[in-house]
Amino acid sequence: MFGARRRQRLAPQEDRMLGSTTIVAFVPTRDAEKARAFYEGVLGLHFVKDDGFALVFDANGIMIRVAKAPEFKPLPFTILGWQVSGIENVVRELHNKGVRFEIFGFPKQDELGIWTAPTGDRVAWFKDPDGNLLSVSQHV
């Protein structure tokens, strides 16, 4: 299930160690019930299973393991992000589902919370119920 769709899109390449394998993403949670409601109900990820150690989601062929971690401190930087097209629409849709976007006061960060980098890339940050910093981005 995981990675099969992604591998089909890649051109055949030489074996490059981990560069030619599918990534697995990890996010910690203190409250699996709230995390599942957020990642499945709000973000729309496909819930696969709860294996006792983590909630397992499928995000377009990439496995995301929301690991049960009774104690951790959220990090002050992005730990998971999604590349999107039409970032304004994605931000508005998430906002309508109750997601609050972070305003950092960067120059060129608009009222929706979307920051435009000098390169033209655009990023908006938000937090999950555990305070993990997530993002959506659109790249030029």
Per-residue pLDDT of 33-44, as tens digits, reads: 999 999 999 999
Q: Cβ contacts of residue 86 below 8 Å, gap of 6+? A: 138
**Is residue 63 domain-shared with residue 83, that is, in the same domain?**
no
Q: CA–CA distance from 30 to each of 59, 66, 74, 89, 128 (Å)?
A: 21, 10, 11, 30, 11
pLDDT tens per residue across span 101-116 = 999 988 899 999 999 9
**Is residue 87 domain-shared with residue 51, that is, in the same domain?**
no
Query: 55 lies in which domain range?
Result: 4-68
**Is residue 102 domain-shared with residue 132, that is, in the same domain?**
yes
Does 73 map to a domain? no
pLDDT tens per residue across span 67-112 = 999 999 999 999 999 999 999 999 999 999 999 999 998 889 999 9
Averaged pLDDT of the chain: 92
**Final residue belonging to a domain, choices 17, 36, 68:** 68
The whole-angstrom separation of Cα 136 and Cα 124 is 5
**Is residue 11 domain-shared with residue 42, that is, in the same domain?**
yes
**Is residue 54 domain-shared with residue 99, that is, in the same domain?**
no
**Is residue 82 domain-shared with residue 128, that is, in the same domain?**
yes
pLDDT tens per residue across span 3-32 = 555 555 555 555 678 988 999 999 999 999
pLDDT value, residue 117: 96
| 79 CB burial (10 A radius; 0-12, 13-18, 19+) | middle
**Is residue 59 domain-shared with residue 82, that is, in the same domain?**
no
Strands 122-127 and 114-116: antiparallel
The whole-angstrom separation of Cα 127 and Cα 99 is 8
Q: CA–CA distance from 12 to each of 8, 15, 16, 20, 76 (Å)?
A: 9, 9, 11, 9, 38
pLDDT value, residue 3: 59
pLDDT value, residue 105: 86
Secondary structure (H, E, C), 90-116: HHHHHHHCCCCECCCCCCCECCCCEEE
**Is residue 54 domain-shared with residue 84, that is, in the same domain?**
no
The whole-angstrom separation of Cα 98 and Cα 115 is 20
Three-state secondary-structure class, residue 23:
coil
